[in-house]
Amino acid sequence: MADKLTLSASTRTNLLSLQRTTSMISKTQERLASGKKVNSALDDALSYFKARSLNNRSSDLQTTKDGIVQAVNVVKAATEALDSVERVMQQMKAIAESAKSSSDSTVRQSYASQFNTLRSQIDTISQDASYNGVNLLRSGPDTLVVKFNERGTNTLEIRGMDTTVSTNGVNVMSAGTTAASGSTGGGSWANSTLTDGAAAIDSVVAYIDSALLEVRSNAETFGTNAAMLDIRKEFTENLVNTLQGGASQLVNADLNEESANMLSLQTRQQLGTISLSIAQQSEQAILRLF
């Protein structure tokens, strides 16, 4: 077994100092490369695990925020569809009033046909008002449940509203038959008697007016829900930013400070190398005496 090399006290002291400086340079280089002063639990266990907890919650809330954004789109699709349904109903009302002003049964039947064509669009729009598989307006509408926190303990339930013609009161005649579903007025638009035909049309207009009020009320409800979702989305975004900022403050490095430290450590390393060299030269001078 080879004998251990014995170093002088001054050489050993300079060598240990140089080794510590090299180790500190290595850590500083890691901080500059990663941008973090805490890269593992070995650096600072408390800060490391606190930051990880904050980042985990931030990630969960980001997923929650994405769900809120999708819910906003579902409600937006329903609101836009209701706006279209309202415009269709207004056109239907205008056609009905035009038919009322005519005494020609053929003209009234033509208006009735136009009316029924528009009426069919209400169901079409309601059935097509779907986003990501969720439809708040169709017959048997969906219910949308939106989570506001990562645990799902705080939610908003948005109930769909059937906007098809059989529900909103505009389940009106085929051309030349009954005036309206459930109407007690009787007669058709093409009734040979002007008064009877007008009464049938008045019944239809009354149903349309009632349906318009319902559609507008539904649109207002969805609008309120959309406003709430926007508020929660903004709140969640701000909370995510706060959590990420807090985590960064715990583990991120001050690059300006680390750069200054690196320059200082490199200078110290150079001086340590010089000191070690001087110590070795002193030992060699002693050896020359023999």
In contact, 38 and 47? CB cutoff 8 Å: yes
Structure tokens at 143: 């219910």
User: What is the separation of C-alpha 66 from the centre of its chain, rounded to a whole number of angstroms?
Assistant: 3
Q: How far apart are CA 205 and CA 220, in angstroms?
A: 22
C-alpha closest to that of 287 among 8, 4, 2: 8
pLDDT in tens, the chain (290 residues): 455 555 566 666 766 776 787 777 777 777 777 777 787 888 889 989 999 999 999 999 999 999 999 999 999 999 999 999 999 999 999 998 898 888 787 888 888 888 888 988 999 999 999 999 999 999 899 999 999 999 989 999 999 999 887 665 555 433 344 433 333 333 466 654 556 677 878 888 888 888 899 999 999 999 999 999 999 999 999 999 999 999 988 887 766 776 777 777 777 777 667 666 766 665 555 555 55
- Exposed/middle/buried for residue 284 (C-beta within 10 Å: 0-12, 13-18, 19+): exposed
Q: How far apart are CA 44 and CA 27, in angstroms?
A: 13
Phi (first) and psi of residue 44, to 5 degrees? -165, 95
Residues 6+ away with beta carbon under 8 Å from 241: none
- How far lies 208's CA from each of 85, 167, 177, 194, 212, in Å? 11, 12, 18, 21, 6
In contact, 129 and 137? CB cutoff 8 Å: yes
Q: How many CA atoms lie within 13 A of 95 on its CB side?
A: 23
Fold adopted by 59-237 = f41 fragment of flagellin, N-terminal domain (1.20.1330)
Q: How far apart are CA 287 and CA 290, in angstroms?
A: 6
Q: What is the pTM of this model?
A: 0.73
